[in-house]
Amino acid sequence: TPPGGQSVPPSSSSPPWNPIARWTSSEKAKVPDWRTPDQLPKDSLSLDRQKKPGANLFVKAAQLCEVRGQSTKAIANYNKALEIDSQDLPDLLGLARVYNRLDQPNQAVTLYVTAVSCHPENSTIFNDLGLCYARQRRWNDALSNYYKAIRLQPENPRYRNNIARVLVITGRPDDA
């Protein structure tokens, strides 16, 4: 048997004592399949079906651009994802974080507010919005959002650390 495990019937033109000639002969052995083509399993990577890419593809491309420091391309990919699904949480958060890093807080806050309206039970949104406000030195808004994040996910120590940081910065270390 050849390395693939299927035996190939000997070719009429190759001598029986030469197995390599049998495996490499120009005659192709056809393995019968009882299934009709429509019953064969579909390949998940098949290109025979026309399907538009989902938002996740563009989010992953945007994240790759972010890693490479290509903010403009990242924004373009996040916007393409938003065109496909305007409520996609990874897209909204990713794009808001890019704008926040680029020191464009108005765009970031707008996206965070949209994310909150679409996903009001997600603590990460409130924490990120708090971080955005803290970067702008809007301490009360930051604290308010950190507290909302803690109400949704009290076991996350990062949220409490963010509150403590703001309290120390604002001169209230005893409250931290």
Pinpoint the alpha helices (H) of 18-156. 19-23, 55-67, 71-84, 89-101, 105-118, 123-135, 139-152
> What is the residue type of 131?
L
Contacts of 20 (CB under 8 A, 6+ apart): none
CA 114 to CA 92: how far, in whole Å? 8
Asked whether the beta carbons of 42 and 65 are under 8 A apart, the reply is: no
pLDDT of residue 52: 79
Closest among 88, 169, 162, 173 to 132, alpha carbons compared: 162
Question: What angle is formed at CA 69 by the lines to CA 68 and CA 75, rounded to 5 degrees?
Answer: 105
Record the pTM.
Answer: 0.69
CA 105 to CA 143: how far, in whole Å? 17
Asked whether the beta carbons of 159 and 123 are under 8 A apart, the reply is: yes
**Per-residue model confidence as pLDDT tens digits over 110-140:** 999 999 999 999 999 999 999 999 999 999 9
pLDDT at 64 over 80: yes
Percent of the chain with pLDDT over 70: 71
Residue 5 falls in which region: left (phi positive, over 0), alpha (psi -120 to 50) or beta: left
pLDDT of residue 53: 83
**Per-residue model confidence as pLDDT tens digits over 65-113:** 999 999 999 999 999 999 999 999 999 999 999 999 999 999 999 999 9
CA 78 to CA 56: how far, in whole Å? 10
| Main-chain dihedrals φ then ψ at residue 132, nearest 5 degrees | -65, -45
Q: What is the mean pLDDT of the chain?
A: 84
